[in-house]
Each structure stands twice: as structure tokens, then as C-alpha cells.
Amino acid sequence: MEDGKTIIKINTLSRMNSQFNSPEITVSAYLLIRLKEIGLDHLFGVPGDFVLGFLNQVLKSEIKFIGTCNELNAAYAADGYARIKGIGAFASTYGVGELSAINGVAGAFAERVPVVVITGSPATINFSTHSLLHHTLGDYQIPLNMYEKITVASTQLVSGEIAPAEIDRVLSACLSHQQPVYISIPSDVAMMKCKRPTAFTFPTHPRSDQDALREAIKEAVNMLNKAKTPIVIGDVELLRFKLQKDFADFLDKTGLPYATMMLGKTLLSEQHPQFIGLYEGDRSRDYVRNRVESADCILQLGTLLTDFNTGGFTTKMDDSKTISGNIGYVKIKHHYYENVHLHDFIQGLTEQLTQRDITTLDIQCAGNSCVHRHTEPFLPDASKPLTIKRFFDRMSHFVKNNSIVIAETGVSLFSAAEMLMPKGTTFIGQTFYGSIGYTVGATLGAAMAAKDRQVILFVGDGSFQVTCQDLSTLIRNHLKPIIFLINNDGYTIERVITDHSYNDIQPWHYHKLVDVFGGGLGIDVHTEGELEEALVKSAKADSLVFIEIHTDRMDCPESLRSAGRSMAKTNKLE
């Protein structure tokens, strides 16, 4: 340890390093070596003249460039990749490219996903002459200024001397905050020489204020020990800050039951015997809602109380019974302990709490009460038109252990959230920021990050129309996700708020797109029997599979209707 930081030597430091035997390498090579060290194997992006120098160096490196059809999808792909691998990145050109990606980066900022934005900008001289080059906006600082709002650190590299320290500073911030960062490399700086990197210093967890930590743990342990029906709610910060193991150890030691919120879905395997299901206020299943709301002590760990997480702010968790541990602070009842970090807090609780008698804790495992139960047999009625309920019932039998399930905002997200995921399955949804079209890019990223895992995407027709081009990138890279497109003739999630003609879209023959884009198996499904046939064919296919599911326009889960009612109210549409 040195200054509270752990030095981790990485032996991959690196083919690129040895490619050039001089004591110096280029700024581009320095950045690429660092990205490789922190776990990046693929870089998404779209070329443009200002970034070509950097991309030429990418081609010589150990990092593979994956071209996408547009920069927004590159950002979504980097986000999906980062959710699996712990880091994601994309490269784009100045102005037109990077600004196309901005919505994808904003989503990563909101949901705490570590994405590195690399933009190739005009040569440094142009920043002082303000020459009216293509893609510029007159003021050369505008893109950087815009990105400053949605990143935790940003830099404009100006020379080979300062580039290494700047790159290290920005990448450290990305990892310690688990949020996006922005690196702008002028085209001349990309090829400037700089020093070789020494081993990267990975940021470690910040140190808690020890007195505050001790006091917070003491108070929390007291409350939990006295409680007869305590409940734990684990959520997104545990995922993002990789505290799953600490959380699992805490559950093993105490035997306490836990729920997750939507953003924290599949935080641990949903087959965990202490997992009771999703808690989302009034949108929860009865048992889960009652179990949480009648608990005499609620321990929230890493929760983010967004509208979708809280069922439209309908959660009822009395502050006077609640302990809440978050990144950087603990709140107990109505007071705060500052500078108490989540990992220290969980570890302290684990040390001091003892095993409870689980027979007294009213633990009904989630499989008994979830909406789409894999515990009940599914018997298809061949001629019956498919409904959303039946489709997701079927899917709860179809998804295999260790899959990655991705669900788009809309009927897909609200339904898939109510499936109990099999062991080892990771669930991805942009449940807070909710930018439609996200999942097509995220599927590309996740499939690239985990080639050995089955990736399943549920996406609505409206969302798919936003970003569908990168279906072709999945095909181009021989990736083989199974995509279920829910064709319900438009924006059902908006129809349940208020239904007018602006929710209609042009109907496409979606399943035929695989042919247009160059390969894969496309199947059209209207009935339960056709779905069974499609699933049999998909099992035999050695390619991407695209199954278009037709359902009624207004067919959706009750949780989505409830969300619609609450959005109508919030937006004064009633």
C-alpha cells in the first residue's frame, strides 16, 4: 500500500509496450495500454478524420475495434459492455460524432456505469486560431463543456508531457466513481511521444471516518438485534461498486431475508433462499409489499429511490425504522453519519451480527409469488394468440442459468422484471434513465463482453425503431443473441398514460431485417404453437435469432398500467 492505494502489477503490460522498444511511446499507445490494464478488450466507435490517428494505433494494439452504425449505439454498447466487464469505451470524432453519443453517456452517468469517451479532436493549433474547420461550432470548447456536465472527469490532452498524468487521473476517477469520463485527443497529440507507463495504481475504496463508522455500526446492530421481523433491501450501488460478495457474506452470516429494487435486480442469484422478490412499493406483489412494509426494521443497502424503483414513489418505509447505507454515508432514522462507506458498514455489520433463527423471519422465497413462475408447468395451447402474460410465463422456463437478460423500457422491462431469473443470470435494463433504443446497443456490448454466455433481449417495436441499425453489427461480428421483439403496434407504455395517434408507428416486418442486414434466423410468431416451433428452431440455430412476437396493442402487465396511471398524474394528464 502506498498513500492508501494498492499497486497492482499487471503482467499484460503489454504486447504493445514491447512493440516499441524506445523509452517513449505515443500518447495513443499509452491510453490503449491503460485501457487494456483496466480490463478493456474491445473499443466501440465510428471513425472520422480527427480520430483516425488514434484508431490507427488501436489497430496495432491488443484492443479490437468494433465499428457501430452510429455513435449513440457505440455509447450504448460501451455501457452494456461495462455492465458485464467493469469498463467500456468508445471512440468518435469531434463534434458530430461525440455529440451524437451524448445521450448514451448521460444514461451511463445517471446509472453509474464506467464508460470512457474518447474523442479525436482537431490539432491543437486550431484551438487557438479558432479556424472554422468542419464539425466545429466556432467555439472549440463547446463539446468539452457539454461533456463536463455528464462525466466525473474530463481532459483535453495538450502535449506528450502532461498526457500520461492526465490519462491516469481521468481513468482513476472513472473507476472510483463508476461513472463516465471524457478524453479529447487532438489529432497531433495522438501521435506525440510520451513516457512509458509504469504499473497502474488502481483506486481503492476510500477510508471511512473510524469514529463515525463505529457509532453507525453500533446503532444499526442494536436496532437489528431488537427487531423481530427485519428485512434487507439491496440495490444498485452494491452492484456498481462490486459489493456483491460482501452482501452475500452478510446474508450468510445473519440469515436475514432480502428484496431488491428494479435497478438492483439480479444483484445476487435470484435463486438465493433468502431472496423474497422485487420491492417496488404498490407495484410489488402482496407478500413482498406486506413483508417489507410491516417489518420492524428495514436495512437499505445501496438503494437509489427513483420513481421506477419505488413504484412511482409509493414505497412505505418508515424513517424511524430504517437504516440506510449508501456510498459515502449512513442514515439511521433521521440522522446521518458522514464519511462512512458502504463496504466498511456492511463488513462491520457482518462481523457483529449473529445468525437469526430463520423460522421466525417469515421468508417466502421469490419463486412462490413472482408473476411469471418457472415452478408451474407451462402447457402451450397451440392455436391460442400470444399474450404478454403467457409469453413471459414461457420465457421464465426458457432462460437458462448464467444468461444475460436485457429488457427495454416498456412492456419488455416491466414484464421481464417480474420473471424470476435462474442461477447466475444477469439482468440489464436502463431502469432509471430509460432512453429507448438503449438495449440494442447494450446487447451488442454485453454479447461482445461475454461471448460464452447466452444473451437474450426483449425489446419493443417502438424502441427498436430508434437504434435497430446495430442489429447488423451483431450479425457482422458473428454474435448470437436471441432477440424477442414485441410487436404491439406502437408505444404501449405511452398508450397506458394517454392514448393518441402520436403513439402509432409505421409497422415494419421486423423479423425480415435479419435478411436485410446479412444473416440470422428471423421468425414471425402470433400463437403459442408458433412460439414453441420458434424456440425449437432457435435451439438448433448457430446464428443470431430474431423472433417477432405479436400481441394486442394494450396488452401489458399490471405494473405498467400502474406506472402509466402515476405518470399521467405527475404530468397532469388526468
Ligand X SMILES: Cc1ncc(C[n+]2csc(CCOP(=O)(O)OP(=O)(O)O)c2C)c(N)n1
Measuring CA to CA, which residue among 530, 487, 529 is closest to residue 512? 487
For residue 436, state whether it binds ligand X (rule: CB under 6 A).
yes
- Binding partner at 255 among ligand X, Mg ion, none, C-beta below 5 to 8 Å by kind: none
For residue 108, state whether it binds ligand X (rule: CB under 6 A).
no
Compute the CA torsion angle 260, 491, 529, 457 (nearest 10 deg): -50
For residue 411, state whether it binds ligand X (rule: CB under 6 A).
yes
- The piece of 55-63, 134-142, 205-213, 405-413 that touches ligand X (CB under 6 A) is 405-413
Closer of 507 and 518 to ligand X (Cβ) = 507
Cα atoms in the Cβ-side hemisphere of radius 13 Å centred on 203:
15
Task: Give residue number: closest CB to Mg ion.
Answer: 460
Site string for ligand X, 460-479 (x = CB under 6 A): xxxx----------------
For residue 434, state whether it binds ligand X (rule: CB under 6 A).
yes
**Which of 439, 492, 538, 566 is in the footprint of ligand X by CB under 6 A?**
492
- Binding partner at 435 among ligand X, Mg ion, none, C-beta below 5 to 8 Å by kind: ligand X
- Sort 62 into a burial class: Cβ within 10 Å, 0-12 / 13-18 / 19+: middle
Considering the candidates 45, 48, 53, 71, report the single residue annotated as catalytic: 71
- Binding partner at 436 among ligand X, Mg ion, none, C-beta below 5 to 8 Å by kind: ligand X
- The piece of 94-102, 166-174, 486-494, 525-533 that touches Mg ion (CB under 5 A) is 486-494
**DSSP tag of 5:** B
Break the chain down into helix, strand, coil percent, rounded to 5: 40, 20, 40
Who contacts 92 (Cβ-Cβ below 8 Å, separation ≥6)?
Answer: 45, 46, 48, 51, 71, 74, 98, 100, 101, 117, 118, 119, 120
71 is catalytic: yes
Q: Is the dihedral of CA 383, 388, 391, 393 positive or negative?
A: negative
Residue 25, helix vs strand vs coil: strand
548 is catalytic: no
The 3 state secondary structure assigned to 109-160 is HHCCCCEEEEEEECCHHHHHHCCCCCCCCCCCCHHHHHHHCCCCEEEECCCC
For residue 493, state whether it binds ligand X (rule: CB under 6 A).
yes
How is residue 107 written as a grid cell? 444514461
Closer of 38 and 444 to ligand X (Cβ) = 444
Closer of 94 and 433 to ligand X (Cβ) = 433
494 is catalytic: yes
Distance CA 128, CA 132 (A): 11
For residue 410, state whether it binds ligand X (rule: CB under 6 A).
yes
- The piece of 202-210, 283-291, 487-495, 516-524 that touches ligand X (CB under 6 A) is 487-495
Look at strands 482-487 and 455-460 and give their pairing.
parallel
For residue 429, state whether it binds ligand X (rule: CB under 6 A).
no
For residue 403, state whether it binds ligand X (rule: CB under 6 A).
no
Q: Count Cβ atoms below 10 Å from residue 352 Cβ, excluding itself.
A: 15
- Binding partner at 463 among Mg ion, ligand X, none, C-beta below 5 to 8 Å by kind: ligand X
CB–CB of 190/28 below 8 Å?
yes
**Which of 79, 237, 408, 461 is in the footprint of Mg ion by CB under 5 A?**
461
For residue 488, state whether it binds Mg ion (rule: CB under 5 A).
yes
Question: Residue 233 is inside which H or E element, if any?
Answer: strand 231-234
**Which of 460, 481, 522, 564 is in the footprint of Mg ion by CB under 5 A?**
460
* Enzyme catalytic residues: 49, 71, 134-135, 434, 461, 488, 490, 494
* Site for Mg ion, rule CB under 5 A: 460-462, 488, 492
* Site for ligand X, rule CB under 6 A: 408-412, 434-436, 460-463, 486, 488, 491-494
